[in-house]
Amino acid sequence: MFFDAIEVSDAQKKLDVASIKRKWSQQKYREGMKGKSQYNFMLSDQVIIHLDKLASRYEATRPQIIEALIEMEATQGIYLLQKIKKISFN
The pTM (predicted TM-score) of the whole model is: 0.60
Which band of pLDDT confidence, cut at 50, 70 and 90, is reported for residue 78? Answer: confident
Q: Is residue 71 a part of any domain in this protein?
A: yes
**10-49 residue pLDDT tens:** 888 889 889 999 999 999 988 888 888 888 999 999 999 9
Most confident range (mean pLDDT) of 10-24, 27-41, 55-69, 73-87 is 55-69
What's the first-to-final CA gap in the chain, in angstroms? Answer: 72
Rounded-to-integer distance, Cα 68 and Cα 80, Å: 14
Does a structural domain hold residue 74?
A: yes
- What is the percent of the chain with per-residue pLDDT over 90, rounded to a whole number? 52
In a domain, 83, yes or no: yes
Average pLDDT over residues 64-80: 92
Distance from the Cα of residue 14 to its chain's centroid: 30
Q: 81-89: which pairs have CB atoms within 8 A and are 24 or more residues apart?
A: none
Give the total number of structural domains in the chain: 1
Q: CB neighbours of 67 closer than 8 A, spacing ≥ 6?
A: none
87 assigned to some structural domain: yes
Query: The domain containing residue 72 runs over which residues?
Result: 39-90
